[in-house]
A = this chain, B = another copy of it.
Amino acid sequence: MDVAIPQGSADALTIAVEQLVRHVRLSATTGGLSSAASFVLSRLAREGPQRLTELARAEGVSQPNMSQLVNRLERGDLVRRTADHSDGRGVLVEVTDTGVEVFLRRRAERALALQQLIDELTEQEQHAVAVALPALARVIEDRRPPRS
């Protein structure tokens, strides 16, 4: 069975990405805030209260999933459900002060962990990372156009 991986190939990069993904997910446990939860808090902090369905679409997950996620966040006093006065069906999700605080702390922790990784790279590699990661994030963002 030939599973060898040519250096620098798309396969090699794929494996590197998966390694990175796994590392982030495993180290994410510390701090008690999952990746999904962090994304939601980040969005709410950036853009203010939002409709639940809006959140689900923006995060690319199903509406029931977002309902559950908001439930968990609500249990931890990180977000709050409020009524939408302009639409009796709607629910506005709003980040709490605690939520902002926890989110910022977690983001700092993650940044520190990433920095520790980056510190072990050569200078050239560090520069490559500073270019590559935002570039990838950019095309990922562009790829999910707001299907309003």
A residues lining the B interface (CB < 8 Å): 1, 3, 7-26, 35-36, 38-39, 42, 45-46, 60, 95, 100, 103-104, 107-108, 110-112, 114-115, 117-118, 120-122, 124-125, 127-137, 139-143
Residue numbers in B under 8 Å from A18 (CB-CB): 24, 35, 38-39, 110
Say whether, besides A3-B46, A10-B112, A20 and B128 are in contact (CB < 8 Å).
Answer: no
Report 24 cross-chain contacts, Cβ distance below 8 Å, ordered by A residue. Answer: A1-B95, A7-B134, A9-B111, A11-B107, A11-B111, A12-B134, A13-B111, A13-B134, A14-B107, A15-B107, A16-B133, A16-B134, A17-B24, A17-B114, A19-B136, A20-B20, A20-B137, A21-B24, A21-B25, A22-B36, A22-B39, A23-B143, A125-B131, A128-B129
